[in-house]
Amino acid sequence: MDKILKSRLALSSLTVFRGLLDDTVVSSYSELLEAVHGIDIRSFVDAYCKFYYNLLSKDTVSVSDYLTKAVLYDRSIFKRQADGGKAALPDPILKAAEHDLDAIKTSLLPASAIKEAAQQHFDDTEYTDLISNLPEWEVSAFDITVEKLCDVNGNKA
């Protein structure tokens, strides 16, 4: 499966952390993933630069660091349910949270992968320099676990 499509599907599959899709950084990332396979290069460049700007406006160039903080401190459905600790959480909610954390990890793509996919999609050497010279963000480990989320919430897992 195409890694851009896989990333898009991963974001679309969020359940308990679905509120992240309303976040400006996450929503602009989702728009960027859509634009990679869009109909015109201008829309792709605009979406790329909008995402990069939104990420920078949060004082980071690391999309994984940003998402780590967003997941840890967002008042998601999971976090509200976790107020009683992990033991109080129904198994379906725990499984949904684990799924969402895996989906977020799957959705994280380095700028180079997105630029490469755009180069292939638009397949025009006229745009090679434009696309390759777009700024890049960082992607590092996204290692949030359900246990870590419960710990941050003030409850031991």
pLDDT by 10s per residue, the chain, length 157: 699 999 999 999 999 999 999 999 999 999 999 999 999 999 999 999 999 999 999 999 999 999 999 998 877 878 777 776 666 788 899 999 999 999 999 999 999 999 999 999 998 778 889 999 999 999 999 999 988 887 765 544 4
pLDDT value of position 149 = 82
User: What is the identity of the amino acid at 42?
Assistant: R
Q: Which of 18, 14, 30 is nearest to 109 (CA)?
A: 30
- The helix/strand/coil state of 138 is strand
pLDDT value of position 45 = 98
pLDDT value of position 153 = 54
Half-sphere exposure in the Cβ direction for 73 (13 Å, CA): 7
Number of H helices, E strands in the chain: 9, 0
Q: Which residue has the tokens 């929503």?
A: 27
Q: Are 116 and 79 in contact (CB under 8 A)?
A: no
Classify the phi-psi angles of 123: left when phi > 0, otherwise alpha if psi is within -120 to 50, otherwise beta.
left
Query: pTM (2 decimals)?
Result: 0.90
